[in-house]
Structure formats: structure tokens, C-alpha cells
Amino acid sequence: MTTATLQAAPQPRPLTKPTYLADGKTIRSWLLTTDHKRIAILYMISITLFFFIGGAAATMMRLELLTPQGDLVTSETYNKLFTIHGVVMVWFFLIPSIPTVLGNFLVPLMIGARDVAFPKLNLASWYLFMAGGAFAVFSIITGGVDTGWTFYTPYSSTYANGHVIAMATGIFIAGFGSIATGLNFIVTIHKMRAPGLTWFRLPMFIWTIYTTSLILVLATPVLAITLTLMALERAFGVGIFNPAMGGDPLLFQHLFWFYSHPAVYIMILPGMGVVSELIPCFARKQMFGYRFVAYATVAIGVFGFLVWGHHMFVSSQSIYAGMIFSILSFAVSVPSAIKVFNWTATLYKGSIRFQTPMLYALGFVGLFTIGGLTGLFLACLAVDVHVHDTYFVIAHFHYIMVGGMVMGYLGGLHFWWPKITGRLYPERLAKLSAVTIFLGFNLTFFPQFILGYLGMPRRYPVYAPEFQVLNVFSTAGASILAVGYVLPLAYLLWSLRWGRVAGPNPWQATGLEWTTSSPPPTDNFEKTPIVTEGPYAYDAQAAEAELEAGHA
């Protein structure tokens, strides 16, 4: 047996300390924990609740859109539904999902550390997140907000009814949780890597979390300032965005999108990181062009800050600025394409296994590619005029957010579930749910590309009768998608008690997190690991030979 094989599937020492799950059973031990793994679980439960709140709003919208008439809810309620859906999904599910759940659980484990750099700040981040969520839920329960998740002025600052300031306060507070989490990860990755774990030996997931953290720290304060200015105008009549008071409404859009476009990369980069872990593992191959993928990750983070004006092509923004933003938006597709090509090249001549996490990873690559390519349509000034504010845009960003990010999250959740809980989920049911989600997703959102191209505007409950067939397809797809989302909730919970015991490394994966027991002890490792090689030391030929021997 070679040294490489030994390092690819290391065996943990027998446990002498309790697992992190057994280290305290009281509610207090959970609510006051500073263990990054327990905080990850707190986030997992919280964002799942928010996902179902946002999902409930989406369900109501899709039901309303079954018929062209506004016969289920009033237009005002519909406005509130899409606002709730957007705000909750963006700020309380998508942005925190992979970084705070998988990131919190895995960053210290993957770099061979005992915890993050600032464990108490980590817990404080969760409390900030929950406090922000409480404000958001308060504003929903007490009447809602109808501005859309973008809070465009002067509507939000002057004319909108509802609890705009409470909702903005919730986002403001949760934003500080994001900043603190980002800061924590940056310091952790800089300062706490195990001996021998150089930057180019880091798993790609760490590169993506690092870049995401930089974006969180650099962009989120701008959102906080922007929402504060909007609230100042709304509450005290300070003229900043309202032209009637000497303000400029486009200033709001510039500031808002300076945060919110990079926020797209906050959402998608960690998903890319998960996929970069899954594909080498389930193709049993080294990642193709590791360094290029790492550079592409950072490049996406940087370019992501330079493209926000493509959200404003028809806003009366100067056409010359539009041209600059259009060119820069095309440029950001280059590093994204590098990633897709490198994942594909990693599959080439691999020993591919179609287990559940791999199904999600492959789904991610296909759906993200469709989402990315349709983004180029929108980056094109002339085409954007035609499809702006139509269902084409809705379909495009759902292919990125749901087809990309949610697939990445679920793939990662399945991949690391045995590490998190020590149990295996039922594989067949999990595969069924992955396929259901893929099919349901496409049936929901592909018709929306056509609807948008044909001219159906977003954000209206009433539409022209000729759009009904495609809307019925979309709603049917949404119900299949919903089944696909409920299934994992059910069988993952089931597996906590009845799932087979996973063992330390059920996927025969590389990476430091697989060298410790499942679930890991509170301190993660018995001894500080020493790293002597790069990530993804897989051998496809050996894996094939092993498979053949198994079938013989």
C-alpha cells in the first residue's frame, strides 16, 4: 500500500472524549455554546425555519398565478408576498446558508483547528442573526412590507405603507452578524491553519469561504448605510433619495446594488466551493487546474464588485456608464466559465459514482451554467431593455440561487451529514429527492424564461390569458419542487435516530475533516494534524480497479 493511499483514507484514533453532540444535553448548553459545530447546528435549524417561511410566501404566489385573474389574493397582498419571499430567502436563508452552516462546521475542521478565531463572536453572530430575523418576522406578522426586497426609493422612503423601517432594521442587524462571521473566517483562515497547510494546499471550499468572507466584510457595511439613509429619509424627511427633497433616487440603486450584486457571489461562491469538494471525491480524481480554480474564485469576488450597474440599465443611468458596466459584466463570466470547464475536466476519465451528493453537484453545474449564460443576455444592453423586469430575470436568478446555491447546499449537507451527525441517510430516497428537485426546479423555472421573453412582467398577480399555460406548468413544477424539499427534511431527521452508523469516512474522502471521528469530539482533533500534501489525493485508476475487484 502506498503512502498516498494511506493519506487518502486515514483512520482516526479511538475516541477518548465525548462527541460535540454529547458534550452537554441541556438547552442552555446549546444556547451558550461557543463550539463552532454546535453554532452551525443552531444556524441550520434557524435557516431551515426561514426557508419554510420564504417558501410559504412563494407557494401562495404560485397558487395565485395559476389563473390570469387576481382571484386568490389582492394586489396589495401579492406585493407583500413577493417582498416576504425575497427578503427572507435572500437575507435569512441564501446568504447565511452555506457560510454559516457548512462554513461554521467545516472551516476549523478542514484547516485542522480546534475552533474559529473568535468563538464568542461566532455565537454573538448567531444572536444578531436571530435578532434581525425577529424584526423581519415582526414586520411580516404586523402587516408586512410591499416594497420588494430591493426597497427602491422614493417608494420605500416616502410612499410605501407597512413596516419598512422594522424590516430594514432586521436586515441591518442580521448584516452585522454577517460581517462578524466574515471577519471570524478571515482571521481563522489566516492564523489557524495546521502546520504544513499552505494556501495552495487548502481545500477549494476554504478558498470560496475566504473570498465570500472578504465580500461580506467589504460590501455589507454599504447595505447597512444605505438602509439607514433610507430610514432617515422615511422617518425624518432627510432629503437623500427623494427628488422632491433634492435627493437622487438612483443614488439608492447605486449603493444598494454595490452590496447586492456582490451578495449574489456571497450566495453562489460557497456553493461552488461545495461542488469543488464533491466532484473530485465522486470522480475519484485530483481537481483539474486547482490553482486556476482558486484564482478564479478570488477573481469572481473582485469582479463581482464592478458590475452592479447592470441592474440599472433602464433606470436612466447614463448610457456610457451602462456600457462600462456591460463590458465588466461580460468579464465576470470568464472566471465563472473557468470553474465550469475545470469541473468538467475533472470528471474526464474519472471513476464516477452517482451517489446523492454527486447528483446535486452535477445538477449544480448544469443549472448554474444555464443561469450564468442567461446572465450574459441580461448583461447585454439592448437585450436587457427587452427582458428587464420580466420573468426572464426571475428565471435567470433562480437558476443561480436555487439551481446553483440550494443544490450546492443540499449536496454539501448530504455529503457532510455523516460527519455532522455520525449517521447515514437512506441513499435511495435521497437520490429520488435529488432527481425530484432537479425535475421540479426545471419545470418551475424554465417556462419563466419563455414567459419573460414573451413579455410577462414580474411582480403582478394579474396577467394576460395567453400566459396561463406556461404559468400552470410553473406552478405544477413548484409543487414537485416542494415535495423534493420536504423529503430530505423527513429522511434526514429520520436518520438521526435510525440511520446506519456512518463511521469516520464513509466516502473514502480526503481532507482533514475526515480524519477525525463522526461526529467529531468538541476539540475536533486528538492531536493537531500535520499536512504533507495538497488536497484531493484521489486515484481514479486505483478506484476503478477496486470497483472491478468488487464486482468480480
Partner 1 sequence: MNEPSARTYLFTGIALLAFLGLTIAAAYVNLGPLNTGVAMAISFAKGALIVLFFMHIRYSKPILWVFVGAGFFWLGIMLVLAMSDYMSRGWN
Binding site for partner 1 (CB under 8 A): 218, 222, 250-251, 254-255, 258, 305-306, 308-309, 312, 317-321, 324-325
Provide DSSP, 302-331. Answer: HHGGG-GGGGGTTTT--HHHHHHHHHHHHH
The closest alpha carbon to 372, from 336, 420, 414, 409, belongs to 336
CB distance 424 to 349 below 8 Å: no
DSSP symbol at 380: S
Closest CA to 526 of 5, 10, 17: 17
When the beta carbons of 124 and 217 are compared against partner 1, the nearer one is: 217
Of residues 317 and 479, the one with the C-beta less far from partner 1: 317
Could you tell me the smallest distance in angstroms from the CB atom of residue 63 to partner 1?
Answer: 40
Q: How far is the CB of 236 from partner 1 (least distance, A)?
A: 19
Q: Which is nearer to partner 1, 230 or 434 (CB)?
A: 230
Q: In the bound complex, what is the minimum distance in angstroms from residue 324's beta carbon to partner 1? A: 6
Give me the least distance between CB of 43 and partner 1, in Å please: 26
Of 134 and 306, nearer to partner 1 (C-beta) is 306
For partner 1, give the closer residue by CB, 45 or 327.
327
Within 8 A by CB and 6+ apart from 82, the residues are: 57, 61, 148, 149, 459
Nearest to 411 by CA among 428, 433, 440, 395: 433
Rounded to 10°, the helix 249-283/290-303 angle is 170
In whole angstroms, how close is the CB of 336 to partner 1 at the nearest point? Answer: 20
Question: Closest distance between partner 1 and the C-beta of residue 309, in Å?
Answer: 7
Q: How far is the CB of 322 from partner 1 (least distance, A)?
A: 8
The residues, ordered by sequence, that sit 6+ positions from 491 with a Cβ below 8 Å of its Cβ are 425, 426, 429, 430, 433
Q: Which is nearer to partner 1, 256 or 397 (CB)?
A: 256
In this complex, which beta carbon is closest to partner 1, that of residue 54 or of residue 304? 304
Q: Is 337 exposed, middle or buried (0-12, 13-18, 19+ CB in 10 A)?
A: middle
Specify the residue, 87 or 224, whose C-beta has the smaller distance to partner 1: 224
CB of 550 to partner 1, least distance (A): 50
Helices and strands (DSSP H and E) totals, the chain: 19, 0
The secondary element (H helix, E strand) that includes residue 383 is helix 381-387
Query: 34 vs 110, 116, 250, 276, 306, CA distance in Å?
Result: 18, 9, 43, 29, 37
Block residue for cell numbers 452517482: 354
